[in-house]
């Protein structure tokens, strides 16, 4: 059975990562476009498509991975095809000093696909999938069983007209 466990956060990046975008040259941008077009073409195929040497592509790809620009290669799983037709977003309020305990609980629930720390009255925003509303209720009850969870508020997604993506316009020099 497939498990979708929320991964541990990646290693911390340098403090200035918010102040500047990574240095991407034209070949980096073209390489990212090719990677988006195919899950994981070989380096030789990428070099052919880009019209540069295989070693050049490999060096750029290694640098993009090392710098955290490319974090992985598919396959991307459509959870709806696995029977998870409910998509929900839940905010979580955490009791003072219990964050790590709550995050460990959320990581252990495979239906919790993402968790983000937020500002405002709530502490976390979770993306959750479930087979149906009863299943979603069970998932939320598992989270609420942790004494560090003060309360949750849940919103159901009716549709996803803009799918999860990393739009390559983010890496163009033209920008917006």
Task: Check which CATH number belongs to the domain holding 122 and give it.
Answer: 3.30.70.920
pTM above 0.75, yes or no: no
CA-based angle 12:124:85, to the nearest 5? 110
pLDDT of residue 126: 98
Are 86 and 45 members of one domain?
no
Are 63 and 105 members of one domain?
no
Are 42 and 97 members of one domain?
no
Count structural domains, the chain: 2
d(CA 9, CA 158): 29
Q: Give the domain CATH number at 54.
A: 1.10.10.10
Domain of 91 in residue numbering reads as 79-156
Are 62 and 32 members of one domain?
yes
81 alpha carbon, distance to own chain's centre: 19
d(CA 35, CA 33): 5
Mean pLDDT by 10 residues, the chain (176 residues): 38 41 76 72 88 94 87 73 92 97 97 96 97 97 97 95 74 55
Are 97 and 124 members of one domain?
yes
Q: 166: closest CA among 32, 75, 39, 56?
A: 32
**Domain-embedded: residue 151:** yes
């Amino acid at each position: 059975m497939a498990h979708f466990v929320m991964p541990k956060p990646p290693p911390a990046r340098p403090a200035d990562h918010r102040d500047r975008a990574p240095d991407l040259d034209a070949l980096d941008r073209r390489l990212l476009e090719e990677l988006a077009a195919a899950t994981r073409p070989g380096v030789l195929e990428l070099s052919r498509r880009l019209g540069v040497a295989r070693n050049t592509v490999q060096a750029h790809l290694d640098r993009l991975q090392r710098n955290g620009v490319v974090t992985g290669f598919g396959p991307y799983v459509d959870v709806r095809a696995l029977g998870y037709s409910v998509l929900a977003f839940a905010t979580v309020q955490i009791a003072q000093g219990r964050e790590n305990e709550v995050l460990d609980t959320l990581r252990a629930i495979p239906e919790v696909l993402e968790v983000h720390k937020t500002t405002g009255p709530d502490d976390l925003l979770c993306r959750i999938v479930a087979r149906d509303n009863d299943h979603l209720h069970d998932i939320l009850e598992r989270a609420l069983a942790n004494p560090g969870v003060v309360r949750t508020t849940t919103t159901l997604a009716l549709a996803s007209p803009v799918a999860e993506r990393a739009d390559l316009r983010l890496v163009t020099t033209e920008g917006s």
